[in-house]
Structure 1
Amino acid sequence: MSLSRFVEKWTIPKYPPDSVSGEDLDAAEQQLGVCFPEDYRQAVLDVGLPRPTIALLHAIVERELDLHDLGNFYSPKEIVEETLGWHEIGMPDRLVAIASDGSGNKFCFNADQLGGDNADMQAIWFFDHDFGTVDEVAPSFHAWIDALCDVEPWHGDQS
């Protein structure tokens, strides 16, 4: 599973992933009027919400990769708070924030796609709050996490 691999590669065992309950996810879905994709639900229920270290950002920056760093996954309660709060200050209403980068930009699902015919997987979108732009970063939660798992750690000058 890709989220387990992410935990092994980009977190510290001393700080394990935060557990998530199905009831909490259900409550967030109800409050936002959406259904999270099955690949996301199953991953966070099985693994929890990882706390990535700065090593991921460092590797992305040093390797000059065309990826956004992942700084923080949101708990179901934070998903609701961040989504509704950011809607009030300019994030498009169709976006549901599930995580952020180190600068507070949001990784999101598009609510217009949630609960449709393909409920198993939905794209991950990136909302850049500085520029007000929204770009697709991966076709699914697993594809997004797999791309971050494919980043090799940076160990200094490797020339």
Structure 2
Amino acid sequence: MAGKERAITLRFLAEPADVNFGGKVHGGAVMKWIDLAAYACSAAWSGKYCITAYAGGIRFVKPIHVGNIVEVSAKVIYTGRSSMHLGIDVKAGDPKNPERHLTTHCIVIMVAVDDSGQPTEVPEWVPESENDIQMRESAIRLMEMRKKIGAEMEAHLKP
């Protein structure tokens, strides 16, 4: 049922195929995992097919090693008419140890679409805890900052 499941965590092992030339998990692999978690979370919240509209503020804090257990957590932190802003945390650690450390964090915006690919309404998310209120306010501030950055980037698109 749409509007009920606000968060999801994907868990799996980092595989040798995910490694980069430096011997750590490739940033592109992490970004793919982030996109998968964002889709799963936004589809669960909206009950609709969703597409990625934006991924930003990606911070690679610590490396992920092959063989680590990886947890990619996505949580709705703001909803618009058809969009959902998600906070994403990636944590990893030795599977023999319960401790996980933050490796990556970012914000992803997903848009629910109908069968013809047009944006469609999503259930509103209303924050309840003080932390949820702070996350929603942060998402709103980030929207305003992205508008300014978008306007600034226009100069780079003109010949």
Q: Per residue, is there more strand in 1 or in 2?
A: 2
Structure-2-length-normalised TM-score: 0.28
Q: Per residue, is there more helix in 1 or in 2?
A: 1
Structure-1-length-normalised TM-score: 0.28
Of structures 1 and 2, the larger Rg is shown by 2
